[in-house]
Structure 1
Amino acid sequence: MKDHALKKGIMLAGKGEKGKYSMPALFAQFDADGDGKLDIYELARAFRAIGLEKRQGGDSDMDKATFKSFGTDKDGYVDMKEIDANMNDKLRAKIEKKIEMGWEFDKEKWDASVKRHKKWDMKKIFAQFDADGDGKLDIYQIARAFRALGLPKRDGTKMEMDKEMFKSFDTNGDGYVSMEEFDKNLKPKTRRKIENILEAGWTFDKAAWEASVARHKKYDMKQIFAQFDADGDGKLDIYEIARAFRAMGLPKRDGEKMEMDKAMFKSFDTDGDGYVSMEELDANLKPKTRRKIELALEAGWKFDKPTWDASVARHKKYNMADIFKGFDTDGDGKLTMREFQRAFRAMGLPKRDGTKMEVDKAMFDSFDTDGDGYISLVEFQENIQPKTRRKIELKLESGWKFDEIKWAESAERHKDDPKPGA
Structure 2
Amino acid sequence: MENAAPAIATPSLPKKPSPSFRLRNGSLNALRLRRVFDLFDRNGDGEITLDEMASALDALGLGADRSGLEAAVGGYIPAGAAGLRFEDFESLHRALGDALFGPIAEEVPEEDDEEGDMKEAFRVFDEDGDGFISAAELQAVLKKLGLPEARSLASVQEMICNVDRNCDGRVDFGEFKNMMQGITVWGA
Determine which structure has more spread, i.e. the larger CA radius of gyration.
1
TM-score range for the pair, normalised by the shorter chain length: 0.3 to 0.5
Higher RCO by CA contacts (8 Å cutoff, separation 6 or greater): 2
